[in-house]
Amino acid sequence: MRVARTGKNDFWRRLLWALIYPKRAQRVTATMPGVVLIALSMGVGVAAYNSASNILFITLSLLLGCLVLSGVLSWLNFRGLHWWLEVEVPMRAGREHLATLHLRNIKRLLPAQGLIFEVTSTSTAEPRELVLRDRLDPQEETQLVWPVCPARRGIERVELTFVGSLYPFGFLRKSIAAEAFCDATVWPAPIEYRRFPIAAWRRAQPGEPVARTGQGGDLLALREYRTGDSHRLIHWKASARLRRLVVRQFSADNEENFTLWLTTPASLWKNDEQFETLCSFVATLAEDLFKQGKLDAVALGAEVAVPLRAVRDLEAFLDRLAVLRPAQDEQALLASRPARKNVLTFAPEGSRGIVAYVDGEKAATT
């Protein structure tokens, strides 16, 4: 009966095999001091062979020993080192955001130092190198931060491609593939636009609710009962279920709310640059109206209008704008206009411009 050997002997066997035959995506390159050292070793070796000098042979062995020791220690420098990426969200096209590389050394004795990290992103043409200048002692963590500026809306991938080590002598640079990445949604870039003096900006139809509390007819949310609240506002079923008193909050009656309806038929939006301007215009206008309390709901294409009650609803709409593409089903788009008043729609103007209409009346343009 054969018993598999495990424990310390197996560890040293795997260690020796890893040094002799490293895994794929690992590479070792000589730096300029390393090239000089190799050339010097060759010269000393030739001189030692021709002169049969023991001192030169000892010198040659010391030079070669430095190269071997440099490779072994650089390999040990990666052991027990953990890394992961984080990106500042939400990201906005054209603005700088911080990306963070977290490092943790879980080794018990050896520090990590002399590390070089190669990072890249979707909007970056050339990889960028981050250098760990200070030593990372055992059981400690550190961070490397760098700015990322997304060029366009969509999904921005920040990726750590390679980790390199120059430790200890800088003769050899050992690199291993990291394969760590982080995806972040990039909202459309803000854009300047001009409003026209129309009646809808100043007044709207009576009885339309907005997403703030008041005495309107639409239920907005539930909250805990406070001293002074009317007993008629208590939601008895929800109070019995939650075992505490909660009251109903209704939306306020206001005349200045809008419904944003965005349609993107492929036959209308043929120019990619103009379509990007459309997404930026819609995002900027939606944010401005929401901050003013004048945006009631949004609708994309043939979908039902979604009420905007909180900031998370607006963020969900901007997330969809980040990955929006021209639609192909044009018949469904034309037949799905929301049955509401003060509906904001958009259309191209010329080869680059965008115009916004409120119930057919020109309201704003880029």
Mean pLDDT: which of 7-11, 195-199, 222-226 is highest?
222-226
pLDDT value of position 21: 57
- 261 and 240: one domain? no
- 178 and 223: one domain? no
**Could you tell me if residue 212 is inside a domain?**
no
Could you tell me which of 356, 300, 359 has the C-alpha nearest to residue 327?
300
As beta bridge partners, residue 92 has: 187
Give per-residue burial for 169-184: e unless 16+ CB within 10 Å, then b. bbbbbbbbebebebeb
- 243 and 335: one domain? no
DSSP 109: S
Q: Which of 38-52, 158-172, 195-209 has the lowest mean pLDDT?
A: 195-209
Q: Which residues contact 103 (CB under 8 A, 6 or more apart)?
A: 81, 82, 83, 112, 115, 132, 136, 141, 142, 143, 144
Domain with residue 35: its CATH number is 2.60.40.10
**Could you tell me if residue 79 is inside a domain?**
yes
**Could you tell me if residue 214 is inside a domain?**
no
pLDDT higher than threshold 70 for residue 263: yes
Half-sphere exposure of 274 (CA within 13 A, CB side): 19
- 94 and 79: one domain? yes
**Could you tell me if residue 331 is inside a domain?**
yes
pLDDT-derived band at 14 (thresholds 50, 70, 90) equals low
pLDDT value of position 147: 92
Number of domains in the chain: 3
Q: How far apart are CA 71 and CA 54, in angstroms?
A: 26
pLDDT higher than threshold 70 for residue 105: yes
- 227 and 171: one domain? no
Could you tell me which of 142, 74, 137, 73 has the C-alpha nearest to residue 106?
137
Element (H, E) at 346: strand 343-349
pLDDT value of position 2: 40
pLDDT value of position 102: 92
pLDDT-derived band at 145 (thresholds 50, 70, 90) equals very high
Domain that holds residue 349: 194-206+255-365
- 58 and 69: one domain? yes
- 137 and 109: one domain? yes
- 156 and 260: one domain? no
**Could you tell me if residue 202 is inside a domain?**
yes
- 18 and 153: one domain? yes
pLDDT value of position 205: 45
**Could you tell me if residue 211 is inside a domain?**
no
pLDDT value of position 24: 56
**Could you tell me if residue 111 is inside a domain?**
yes
Q: What angle do CA 137, 141, 145 make, to 5 degrees?
A: 120
Q: Note the pTM of the prediction, 2 decimals.
A: 0.68
**Could you tell me if residue 2 is inside a domain?**
no
Which tens digits make up the pLDDT trace of 299-351? 888 788 888 888 888 999 999 999 888 876 655 555 566 666 788 888 888 87
Q: Which of 20-24, 147-151, 229-233, 278-282 has the lowest mean pLDDT?
A: 20-24
- 149 and 273: one domain? no
- 259 and 308: one domain? yes
Q: How large is the average pLDDT for residues 152-156?
A: 90
pLDDT value of position 3: 41
pLDDT value of position 328: 66
Mean pLDDT over the full length of the chain: 79
| SS3 state at 360 | coil
DSSP 327: B
214 in Cβ contact with 307 (< 8 Å): no
- 183 and 103: one domain? yes
pLDDT value of position 204: 43
